Amino acid sequence: MKRKLISAALAAVMVSSLAACGASGSASATAAPSEQQSGKEETGASSGEKKTLTVTFKDDGQGENHPWYVWLKKSYEEWDQKDGINLELAPITSSEGDYYTKVALQLADKNTCPDIVIEDTFQLPSDVSAGYLTNLDSYVAGYPEWSDGTYYDSLKSGSVAEDGSVYGIPYSTDARGIWYNKEIFKQAGLPQEWQPENWQDILDACAAIKANVPDVIPFWCNSGVATGEATSMQTYEMLLYGTGEQLLDENGKWIVKSRAIEDTLQFISDIYTNGYGPSLSLVLNGQATNTARREYLPQQKLAMSMDGAWICANWEETGASPWPEYQEIMGFAAMPTQNGGGVITMSGGWSVSIPENSDMKDEAFAFVKKLMEPPLYTESVIAQGSIVTRTDAAADEAYTSLPFRTEATDLLEGAFFRPQNEQYSVVTNNIQTMVEAVVSGSTPEDAMNQYAMDVARVVGDDNVVEK
For 379, the 3-state DSSP assignment is helix
Strand pairing report for 116-120 and 176-181 = unpaired
- 379 and 310 housed in the same domain: no
Phi and psi torsions of 240, nearest 5°: -55, -45
- 386 and 429 housed in the same domain: no
User: What are the Cα distances from residue 221, in Å, to 434, 435, 439?
Assistant: 14, 11, 11
Any alpha helices (H) in 26-176, and if so which ranges? 67-78, 96-108, 124-129, 137-141, 153-156
- 98 and 113 housed in the same domain: yes
Tell me: the pLDDT tens digits for 401-447? 888 877 887 887 778 988 888 899 899 999 999 999 999 999 999 99
Q: How many domains does the chain have?
A: 2
- 182 and 315 housed in the same domain: yes
Q: Which residue, among 308, 301, 68, 276, has the nearest Cα to 179 in the 3D structure?
A: 308
User: What are the Cα distances from residue 425, in Å, to 158, 162, 250, 274, 357?
Assistant: 15, 15, 20, 32, 21
Distance CA 305, CA 221 (A): 6
Cα angle vertex 349, ends 237, 110, to 5°? 110
- 92 and 214 housed in the same domain: no
What is the helix (H) or strand (E) element at residue 353, kind and residue range? Answer: strand 350-353
CATH of the domain at 189: 3.40.190.10
Tell me which DSSP letter residue 232 carries: I
Distance CA 318, CA 67 (A): 10
- 136 and 278 housed in the same domain: no
Q: What is the pLDDT of residue 7?
A: 40
Quickly count: other Cβ atoms within 10 Å of residue 453's Cβ.
11
Q: What is the pLDDT of residue 97?
A: 60
Tell me which DSSP letter residue 80 carries: T
Low-confidence spans in the chain with pLDDT less than 70:
1-48, 95-97
- 117 and 208 housed in the same domain: no
User: What are the Cα distances from residue 361, in Å, to 116, 366, 442, 449?
Assistant: 9, 9, 49, 46
- 396 and 436 housed in the same domain: no
Q: What is the 3-state secondary structure (H, E, C) of 273-332?
A: HCCCCCCHHHHCCCCHHHHHHHHHCCCCCEEEEEEEHHHHHHHCCCCCCCCCCHHHHEEE
For the chain, what is the radius of gyration of the CA atoms?
Answer: 22
Q: With beta carbons less than 8 A apart as the criterion, state whether 71 and 393 touch.
A: no
- 64 and 98 housed in the same domain: yes
Q: With beta carbons less than 8 A apart as the criterion, state whether 241 and 346 touch.
A: yes
Structural domain span for residue 74:
2-174+348-417
Cα angle vertex 270, ends 265, 275, to 5°? 135
- 81 and 60 housed in the same domain: yes
Q: With beta carbons less than 8 A apart as the criterion, state whether 167 and 135 touch.
A: yes
Q: What is the pLDDT of residue 357?
A: 96
- 387 and 450 housed in the same domain: no
Number of residues written out for the chain: 467
Tell me: the pLDDT tens digits for 56-108? 999 988 899 999 999 999 999 999 999 999 999 999 987 666 778 898 899 99
Tell me which DSSP letter residue 248 carries: B
Amino acid present at 129: S
Q: What is the pLDDT of residue 61?
A: 84
- 67 and 155 housed in the same domain: yes
